Amino acid sequence: MLKLDALTYHHTNGQSQIYEFSMHSKTGQITGITGQSGSGKSTLLDLIAGFLLPHSGSLTWNDKDLTPLPPEARPVTILFQNDNLFDHLSAEKNIAIGINTSLRLSAGETKKVRQALNDTGLEGFGARRAGSLSGGEQQRVALARALVRDTPVLLLDEPFSALDGETRATMLDLVGEIAVKYHRTVLMVTHDERDCSAIADQHFTLSNGKLHRV
C-alpha cells in the first residue's frame, strides 16, 4: 500500500504555498486526482517520485519509508505529458532502457520488451524511431517501459491530456487493463474529472494545498 501521512512541502518559488498531503492507495487500485492549474498536482507526484523532498510527514510503500531513497531506487515509474522518450532511439530501445540503461539485454529481457510492446498494442513498432511516432504511440511506448521496469507504482502526470478524445479513451482503458493485469498501483493527476470517472477506483481533488476525497 502507498501511504502519504501529512506529507508536507513548502513551495518557495514565487508565491509561498504550503502543501500537506494525506491519502493511501492499495495495490492494484487506481486513484484519480483532479485540481486546477497550480493547485499542486505535479508537486504531489514529484514528492512521491523523489524529485522533491518533503519538509515533514511520511511516505511509505508497504510500510517502507521512501523519503531517503533517490528517484531511481523508488518503486515508482512516472509518465509525463511530454518528453517521456529519447526521440533519437527506437521504440524498442526506449523500452529496453527501463531494464538496463546500457541497453545490453539478455534473451529473456529482450522477450520481455517484445511482450510489453504487444501488451501496449505496439506490435511492429519496435524499430521505429520514437520521434517519428504519434503522440498516442509515444505514450504507449512510455507505458510499455513502465511495465518492464516492474515498479509497483505508476504515476501519471496528465500524460494523455494532449491526445485527441478517442486516443485518450483508448489509453485510459489500457491503463485500466495494466493496473489489473500487472497489479500496479496507479496515481493519475488530471484536470479533467471525466478521466477519473472513466477508470479511477477512488477520486481526490486538490485545493488549498490539501487532498479532499470526492
Residues that bind other proteins (CB under 8 A): 13, 46, 49-53, 70-74, 76-78, 80, 82-84, 86-89, 97-98, 101-102
Question: Residue 203 Cβ, how far from other proteins at the closest point, in Å?
Answer: 25
Question: Residue 77 Cβ, how far from other proteins at the closest point, in Å?
Answer: 7
Question: Residue 94 Cβ, how far from other proteins at the closest point, in Å?
Answer: 10
Count the Cβ atoms, other than its own, within 10 Å of residue 213.
8
Q: Cα–Cα distances in Å, from 185 out to 107, 129, 144, 179, 182?
A: 28, 30, 16, 7, 9
Question: Residue 158 Cβ, how far from other proteins at the closest point, in Å?
Answer: 11
Residue 156 burial (CB < 10 Å; 0-12/13-18/19+)? buried
Nearer to other proteins by C-beta: 97 or 171?
A: 97
Nearer to other proteins by C-beta: 6 or 73?
A: 73
Question: Residue 51 Cβ, how far from other proteins at the closest point, in Å?
Answer: 6
Question: Residue 181 Cβ, how far from other proteins at the closest point, in Å?
Answer: 22
Nearer to other proteins by C-beta: 101 or 107?
A: 101
Nearer to other proteins by C-beta: 123 or 131?
A: 131
* Cell numbers standing for residue 74: 523508488
Nearer to other proteins by C-beta: 97 or 178?
A: 97
Instruction: List CB contacts of 153: < 8 A, sequence separation 6 or more.
Output: 2, 48, 61, 74, 75, 76, 77, 184, 185, 186, 187
Residue 22 burial (CB < 10 Å; 0-12/13-18/19+)? middle
Nearer to other proteins by C-beta: 97 or 199?
A: 97
Selection from 154, 162, 23, 144 nearest residue 85 by Cα: 144
d(CA 184, CA 187): 10
Beta strand 2-11 with 30-35: parallel, antiparallel or unpaired? unpaired
